[in-house]
Each structure stands twice: as C-alpha cells, then as structure tokens.
Amino acid sequence: MHDVVIEGGLVITATQTRQVDIAISGGRIAAIGGGLGAAAKRIDARGRMVMPGGVDTHCHVEQISGAGLMNADTFETATRSALHGGTTSIVSFAAQHPGKRLRQVVDDYQALAARGALIDHAFHMIVSDVSGENLSRDLPELMAEGHRSIKIFTTYDKVRLADEAILDVLWSARTSGALVCFHAENDGLIRWMTRRLLESGRTAARFHPLSHPRAAEVEALSRMCVFAEFTGQPIMLFHISTRDGVEIVRAAQARGVPVVAETCPHYLFMTGDQLNLPGQAAAGLMCSPPQRLPDDQVALWEGLASGVLQVVSSDHAPYRLDTTGKFAHGTDAPFNRIANGMPGLELRLPLMFDAMISKGHLGAQKFVELTATVPAEIFGLTGKGRIEIGADADIAIWNPDRKVTFGDNDLHDATGYNSFAGRTVTGWPETVLSRGDVVLSDAQSIGVAGRGKRIPMERSAAMLPRISNEADRLDYPA
C-alpha cells in the first residue's frame, strides 16, 4: 500500500504535461500513471495543476547583514512563508564576517535551520575573509561535505573581496568542485554616485536607484566573466537587472565561459520609477541592484525565454519598516543607511505563475524549469525540483483559477508588509507536500518547525571547470 496517491491532476514537469496519478511511498515518488493501487491517503487533484515544489536558490534567512543588522525572519517564519507560496526547498546564506572562521559560521547557520526550518534547505557560503585557514582548510572541507556553493560580494563594506582574493576563491572552488556566485556591482561607482547624491541633498529613499548606476552592474559582471574565463571556474551571476547584463552573459556564454545567471521577480514586475515616492515611502521597495526600466524587463524576459538566464529566484531579504529593520538608523536616515531588500519567498511563484501560465507568457513547462528543475540541477540538489520515480515527493498542487489580491500585510513571513500590495494574481498553491508529508492544506500551513533537512549539494554539471589557456599553465613543469 502506498502512503499517498494524488489522483486526477494535470501533472506538469519541465518537459511534459499529462493527466496522470502519482503514488508516494517513504517520502519519494513510487509510481506515475493510472490504477496505482491502494493508499493510506488519497488527494483529489481534479481541476488542479500538479507541479514540483518550488526551489528558491537565493534567499536571506536569519542572517546578519554586512552592516550588522539581523533580518526579520527566522528559519521557521521564512520557510512557513515559502510553503504558502508553493516552495519546498531553499538555499539561503551562511554569512561570514571578517574575523570569523568559515567552519564555525556554517555550523551556526546549520543549527538555526535544524531548529526552525519546515522544509529542506542548503546554504551558500558567503566568503568575506580568506585569511588564516579559511581558504586552505575550512573551505575545501566544507565543499567536500556538500556545501558546494560560495557567494562573493564585489561591493559593500566588510563583506566585499578584492580581485586577488576573488581569484584565490575561484581557484579553490575549481580544485574542489563548487559554484561561485556573485553579487556583482562596481564598488567605486556606487560610492562615487552615493557621495555626490548626498552632497547635493538628495538623501531620501527614492534616490537609491540613482546610487547604483547601470555601469556598476555592467563593469562588475564583465569583470567576473573575465575571471571565470581566465580560471576556467564556473560562476553564477545573481540578480541580473539590465539589458546590458543579459547581453554580457549571452556574449560570455557564446565564447565558452562557464557562466549561468538568474533574475528576480522585482526586476520582472517593478520599475525604478515606482520608487519615486515622497519622504521615506520608497524604503520598502529598495533593493540592490535597483529596479530598472521597462526595456530592461523586456530583455530579462527574452533572456529567460532563450536560456541565457536559467533561474528566477526571490532574493528574499526581509527587513521590517521600523527601527528594528529598514530604519535602524532612524526614520529620517539617508538612503545609504536604509537596509536593502524586500520579502519575496511567498511571492515568487504566484507572481511567475500568473505571468507565465495564467497570462500565457512562456507557459507552464518553462515555469517549472525556471523555478524548480533547473535551480535544483545547477546547485546539485539531488531529488528536488522534478516529478519522476525516485525523486523526493516535494509537490505543489495549484488551483489555476483562484484569484488573490495582495494586501498591505498578508504574507506569512515576519517582514510586516507586502511590496506587491494591490496586485492581483491568478493561480494559487492550495496543497503542498514535502517528502510526502502534507505541509500545506487548503492554503493553511500544517508544517512543523525543525522537520526540514539539509540537502547536501552534489557536484553538478554546472560546477565542472573548463580548461584555461592561461591559468592552467600554473600546472606546467617549471
């Protein structure tokens, strides 16, 4: 007897759509088809779309920022919010600050997740200090234990790495087999623009987009692609926001650079002019890179359609609109002292479902590809992001006709506001299973804190290095 049979639904994967039943045993998909036999529990999915649970590979949870500010969510609140949006696996950050041992940082974040997470999870290791044994011992050991994703900042005080240190990390990852991810913006351009804006009295939140010029993304993306080409080490470029960025990635891929890239809903569905609000009203919409122009949105969608961009992640970065979060430096703080980021874990899939399926832009199979299957493949999250025999039974059952209008504070995280308030979407996840357990029923969470497990990252195809004509000469005999 199976544990669960989901029957009558339209099952959609990244490659096919068909009306079949799914049997689950021991937390995994045991059979797909018709007449699957007896089950302890049967779920009627007639009139529903049955898809892999979402895989969100870019979210900040229970994390201390480079400025020393704790964000709003615990692993419990963040993963509960993720479930309400149809997401069943996340990759968040173990954020190293200068002076900290990388091993201890990862262990501390793992303990937080083990206590609070309702769903399965993995970590990107933010590397900001390569001194001592961080690079020689901790990083190789952690990669061998399945922490195969590293994040580097090219901007922001305390966490950014200089070019030589970036090359050291790339070379270490190449040796051990990992993916190096980048927040790529030019630090000098941002500092220069910020200083000039503040000197001219333009300090309100609405001026934040001007402080992160397009050129900052263009320069840093280009430089990181050159570094990947030089070392042969695969990289992922986070949160592409501009047409220029899409073209840089396209050109690098065309010449054989091992680079993949993502974008986020706030770039697909928001523009920079939405921050043109009085006082500090734009604080809740501040993110970095900032939202751009309508033409950039067109280019991002083109990049997703063509495969230049492979992933849509949330970049969930939750800060409350009070003195514990955005206004930790006062309600009249200048824009450069306001925490960047917006809630997104719960919003990512409904926004993308509405655009891609309800409105017919790219379709349901591409939706699954961008939000579940390919993210799991890139980061080596075996068994996640797919509906096939032997895969983990992480499944979201969507009501394609359900309309939801977002309210001012209707999310299930701890942020306290919804950056898409007033927007109506069609399509909503009503039942969600994680490893065969029903953790969301009739859009109500019944998951238990601490039930989530860490997912070791296997060495994926996206992590395989290329031969470098220059850097590989280091291995030649002297």
- pLDDT tens, residue by residue, 418-455: 999 999 999 999 999 999 999 999 888 898 999 999 99
What does residue 402 show for φ and ψ, rounded to 5 degrees? Answer: -75, 125
Q: What is the pLDDT of residue 443?
A: 82
- Is 452 within 8 Å of 79 (Cβ atoms)? yes
What is the spatial distance between Cα 361 and Cα 375, in angstroms, rounded to a whole number?
20
Question: Which pair of tokens denotes residue 445?
Answer: 């969470």
- Is 343 within 8 Å of 418 (Cβ atoms)? yes
Strands 120-126, 149-153: pairing kind = parallel
pLDDT of 39 above 90: yes
Mean pLDDT of 459-477: 79
What is the spatial distance between Cα 228 and Cα 236, in angstroms, rounded to a whole number?
10
What is the spatial distance between Cα 22 and Cα 41, in angstroms, rounded to a whole number?
12
Question: Which pair of tokens denotes residue 122?
Answer: 């993995």
Mean pLDDT of 71-86: 97
Which of 56-60, 77-81, 223-227, 463-467 has the weakest average pLDDT?
463-467
pLDDT of 474 above 90: no
Which of 88-102, 146-160, 210-224, 463-477 has the weakest average pLDDT?
463-477
Letter string b/e over residues 454-468, b meaning 16 or more CB atoms within 10 A of that residue's CB: bbebeebebbebbeb
What does residue 88 show for φ and ψ, rounded to 5 degrees? Answer: -120, -5
Q: Give the number of other Cβ atoms within 10 Å of residue 71's Cβ.
A: 25
- Is 154 within 8 Å of 160 (Cβ atoms)? yes
Give domain limits for the chain. 1-478
What is the spatial distance between Cα 283 and Cα 296, in angstroms, rounded to a whole number?
22
- pLDDT tens, residue by residue, 286-309: 999 999 999 999 999 999 999 999
Beta bridge partners of 182: 152, 237
Tally the C-alpha atoms within 13 A of residue 286's C-alpha that lie toward its C-beta: 28
Letter string b/e over residues 82-111, b meaning 16 or more CB atoms within 10 A of that residue's CB: bbbbbbbbbbbbbbbeeeebbbebbeebee
Matching residue, tokens 């059952």: 397
Letter string b/e over residues 132-155, b meaning 16 or more CB atoms within 10 A of that residue's CB: eebbeebbeebbeebbbbbbbbbb
Cα-trace Rg, the chain: 22
Q: What is the pLDDT of residue 478?
A: 45
- C-alpha distances (whole Å) from 107 to each of 102, 112, 113, 454 are 9, 9, 10, 12
- pLDDT tens, residue by residue, 237-275: 999 999 999 999 999 999 999 999 999 999 999 999 999
Q: Could you please state the CATH topology (level 3) that the domain comprising 1-478 is classified under.
A: TIM Barrel (3.20.20)
Q: How confident is the model at residue 235 (pLDDT cuts 50, 70, 90)?
A: very high
What is the spatial distance between Cα 92 and Cα 315, in angstroms, rounded to a whole number?
9
What is the spatial distance between Cα 169 and Cα 248, in angstroms, rounded to a whole number?
22
Average pLDDT over all residues of the chain:
96
- Is 188 within 8 Å of 159 (Cβ atoms)? no
pTM score above 0.85: yes
- pLDDT tens, residue by residue, 125-166: 999 999 999 999 999 999 999 999 999 999 998 899 999 999
Q: How confident is the model at residue 67 (pLDDT cuts 50, 70, 90)?
A: confident
Q: What is the pLDDT of residue 475?
A: 60
Beta bridge partners of 5: 23, 42
Q: Tell whether the torsion through CA atoms of 83, 87, 91 and 93 is positive or negative.
A: negative
Q: How confident is the model at residue 471 (pLDDT cuts 50, 70, 90)?
A: confident
- Is 96 within 8 Å of 131 (Cβ atoms)? no
